[in-house]
A and B are shown apart, each in its own frame.
Chain A
Amino acid sequence: MPINVLMPALSPTMTEGKLARWLKKEGDAVKSGQVLCEIETDKATMEVEAVDEGTLGKILVAGGTEGVKVNTPIAVILEEGESAASAAAPAAAPAPVVAAPAASPSTAAPASKPVAAPAADAGRVFVSPLARRMAEQAGLDISAIRGSGPNGRIVKADIDAARAGTKAVARPAAPAAAPAAASVPAPAAVSAAALAAIGPHKLVPLSTMRRVIARRLTESKQQVPHFYLTVDCVIDRLLAGRAALNARSPEKGPGAFKLSVNDFVIKAVAVALRQVPAANASYSDDGILMWDNVDVSVAVAIPGGLITPIVRNADAKGLAQISTEMKDLATRAKDGKLKPEEFQGGGFSISNLGMFGIKEFGAVINPPQGAILAVGAGEQRPIVKDGALAIATVMSCTLSVDHRVIDGAVGAEFLAAFKRIVEDPLAMLL
């Protein structure tokens, strides 16, 4: 019996991914454990290993194909004596999913056209002609719309609902619908065709990560009531402590470390969250989830986007351990090698743009987390101390807060705790 290789789910929440490339070609012998292809999810690239032995008889989904649904057959492995013909298209053989966008972005791939991502497992979106046309006219992505017609067919009423939904979501007063509300409209529904007239341009196809960033952050800004609290932290003592500690690092070897200011910030956030647990929480319609652990997500810029690997139980870890872990996570994030559990979850995020000289900024909350701390550059500023002008190294931090779960006073309490720790880093030891 020919064996179907199915699109794997690399995480419990994954519904589709990009089949980045094939490492085997049709006719190649494969052994159990050999890497067949690479799958790119919203955040990471993973290798798919063969589970069975045989010959790669047929590749059903070409490398570079986006939006491949989990469990779609992507290839067929033949056992000895079987021919590719006998394996031809199992009943549910997916019609070729959207071909990869043309390599040359200058040929303005018609981005206004809804991306015909596959529905269910059949590799085809069932949509009435009228609904398809109305979605096109409204700039809606039909792959993001759930059909209510017979067998899940998308019909006019679904487009009407999606369009009404776009408007409803835009109303800030609307109570945050569950993020997975039916037929979430494609983020922003901006068609390239509508913009093309502005001037000469080239069209860069959206990566999976870019789509996810667009969707999630649009949802966040539309559905999460943000407010912002800013505090200035004097970090001269922190810098001195950092220098002293770094001096203690062995020259080389496994025990070597070099603490960054950010490592101190991670630790300070973790200790402050332990002191003010009300800030370590997420909103749901059923109630507030108070997180037991202190898991801190740290935004890392990577080629083509960003990702937030997690330092788990950061309150219980020493600075050196946090530093080592963070370096490892950041390195592997840049290589696209993070495991899903290393970036999915977390109760609180830190985004630090200090290294770029940013003085202060407000970050967008990463749902379902309740808050994110935006960290600016530590710089020498004049301050007033004991009635006299003085110079100090000051770092401005802005907390973006989901008001549904954290009120102003709680946010201020958390920031006060954070400031106390950052300004008196020995307190971390307590």
Chain B
Amino acid sequence: MAEQQFDLVVVGGGPGGYVAAIRAAQLKMNVALVEREHLGGICLNWGCIPTKALLRSSEINHLLHNLDAYGFSAQNVSFDIAKIVKRSRGVAAQLSGGVKHLLKKNKVTVFDGAGRLDGVAAGGARKVAVSKDGKAVASLVAKNVILATGARARVLPGLEPDPACIWTYREAMVPAKMPKSLLVVGSGAIGIEFASFYRNLGAEVTVVEVMDRILPVEDEEISAFARKAFEKQGMKILTGAGVKGVRKGAGSVTALVEQGGKTQEIAVEVIISAVGIVGNVEGIGLEGTKARVEKTHLVVDGYGATGEPGVWAIGDLTGPPWLAHKASHEGIACVEKIAGLKGVHPLDTSNIPGCTYCMPQVASVGMTEAKAKAAGRKVRVGRFPYMGNGKAIVLGEPEGMVKTVFDAETGELLGAHMIGAEVTELIQGYGIARTLESTEAELMHTVFPHPTLSEMMHESVLDAYGRAIHF
């Protein structure tokens, strides 16, 4: 097979890979992108985007059941899960088509197949073999290769996926029918979003979390606030608990859940397993290279270098946090490093916001209060409740809070933690403040428009210094 020459080959077309490919094309590289399934990757096809479409539907369902509060009345409100899923798939398809168009516009050559490192060509260039359904379809040569093959759901023994009753995010995203009861194992962002989605559509939902609190990476106060809100919605939450085994029945599944030394049986229609991810390190030709795999992820430096000349890696294939926006930023830093641009900075992983689109939403950036204290910082903490904000009351969303953590000595904004309506849209304000290294003074001097939810961001900062006006 004739070898095709490129400046850069990107293996994987998710938010890390396709963004890297476009940036490389902007820098005048001749780029090939190899994708085995969907342009846009998990994020766009089986992750961020379709789940947000589902959650939008559940949010509307919630509103429809509270119309009275806004002066409306409606009878016989109902939904069709098939239509909700169809809309979600349509959104994903539309955006995946958009990525295809963007790649074409930037003259990135897309190969449909699985890419694998295939040794070194004459002159030290890397070879990448592309195969589809087991057949070789192309042989690519480039000086640099970026691996961006992503990750997949971790499978716990005993919780192997079964389309009938044990789902991963994939099955949970396209239910054939609406389950009446679910057990969600794992209360990270993925588990909590599905728990929230199904609960809002009326399913009985139980969440099992091995740690002592849900959303364990978030600030402890936020975790506690979220738990209270979910329980008020009728969700059952078992923390410090684990699934010891399952027993499949006809149309149901029984989980043996151990908590505090006691075991109880919980019978549900479906179990959703959301216990983390593992990197897709297999079948990409890492054997015999200097690239090192640790706990199913590739070890890389701040620019994605693997230690093997000409082989780079970004996104979920590498270390945490495993988020689409982190992958995209890494892709850009990696490409700019390869291109030899001046002033390329590695991604600052301490400043990547995390968002969970449950109801109420959760968003955060930087250190939690506990982590800041553990790091030896003296902190000042500000809090402001949604109850004290005009816009929150106008929206009928009085539940939530904005928490800020400052270094008491320097005024550095160490972290911000929010729960409540639309916080996922608000968190970037604190992200910019942190990138610019603002102190409390600049945040206090910034004029936040009235009436908006963002005023709470201001008030929380003021509160950290004992100056909150509206609470």
Residues of A within 8 A of B (CB): 128-131, 133-134, 137, 150-151, 155-156
Contact = CB atoms under 8 A, between A and B. Distances in A.
Interface stretch (B9-17, B245-253, B373-381, B437-445): B437-445
Interface in B377-434: 409-412
| Chain A to chain B: the 5 pairs with minimum beta-carbon distance, closest first | A128-B437, A130-B437, A129-B439, A130-B412, A129-B442
A160 to B, nearest CB: 11
B260 interface: no
A157 to B, nearest CB: 10
Contacts of B442: 129
B412 A156 contact: yes
A150 B441 CA distance: 22
B436 interface: yes
B343 interface: yes
Nearest to B442: A129
Given A137-B409, A156-B412, A129 B343 contact: no
Contacts of A133: 410-411, 439
Contact of A130 (B343, B345, B410): B410
9 contacts: A129-B438, A129-B439, A130-B410, A130-B437, A134-B410, A137-B409, A150-B343, A151-B343, A156-B412
A125 to B, nearest CB: 14
Contacts of B345: 150
Given A133-B410, A134-B410, A128 B436 contact: yes
Contacts of B441: 129
Nearest to A131: B437
B378 to A, nearest CB: 13
Interface string B10-31: 0000000000000000000000
Interface centre among A129, A131, A133 (most CB of B within 10 A): A129
Contacts of B412: 130, 156
B303 to A, nearest CB: 16
A130 B409 contact: no
Nearest to B411: A133
B19 to A, nearest CB: 20
A129 B437 contact: yes
Interface residues of B, number: 12
B215 to A, nearest CB: 28
Contacts of A151: 343
Contacts of B411: 130, 133
A155 B434 CA distance: 11
Q: Chain A: interface secondary structure?
A: helix
Contacts, number: 28
A150 B344 CA distance: 9
A131 B441 CA distance: 13
Nearest to B441: A129
B410 A129 contact: no
Contacts of A156: 412, 437
A156 B366 CA distance: 15
A137 B436 CA distance: 19
Which residue among B343, B409, B410 has the maximum number of chain A CB atoms within 10 Å of its CB? B410
A156 B410 CA distance: 10
A114 to B, nearest CB: 15
Contacts of A150: 343, 345
Contacts of B439: 129-130, 133
Given A130-B439, A155-B437, 18 more contacts: A128-B436, A128-B438, A129-B436, A129-B441, A129-B442, A130-B410, A130-B411, A130-B438, A131-B437, A133-B410, A133-B411, A133-B439, A134-B410, A150-B343, A150-B345, A151-B343, A156-B412, A156-B437
A130 to B, nearest CB: 4
A128 B410 CA distance: 12
Contacts of B410: 130, 133-134, 137
Nearest to B413: A130
A23 B77 CA distance: 87
A160 B343 CA distance: 19
Contacts of A128: 436-438
Contacts of B343: 150-151
Nearest to B445: A129
Interface in B342-387: 343, 345
A156 B348 CA distance: 13
A134 B442 CA distance: 15
Contacts of A130: 410-412, 437-439
A137 B442 CA distance: 17
Nearest to A151: B343
A131 B437 CA distance: 7
A238 to B, nearest CB: 61
A424 B410 CA distance: 66
B372 to A, nearest CB: 15
**Most chain B CB within a 10 A radius of its CB, from A128, A151, A155:** A128
A113 to B, nearest CB: 16
Interface in B92-115: none
Contacts of A137: 409-410
Interface in B80-136: none
Contacts of A129: 436-439, 441-442
A365 to B, nearest CB: 37
A212 B46 CA distance: 64
A129 B412 CA distance: 9
Contacts of B436: 128-129
B347 to A, nearest CB: 14
A164 B410 CA distance: 17
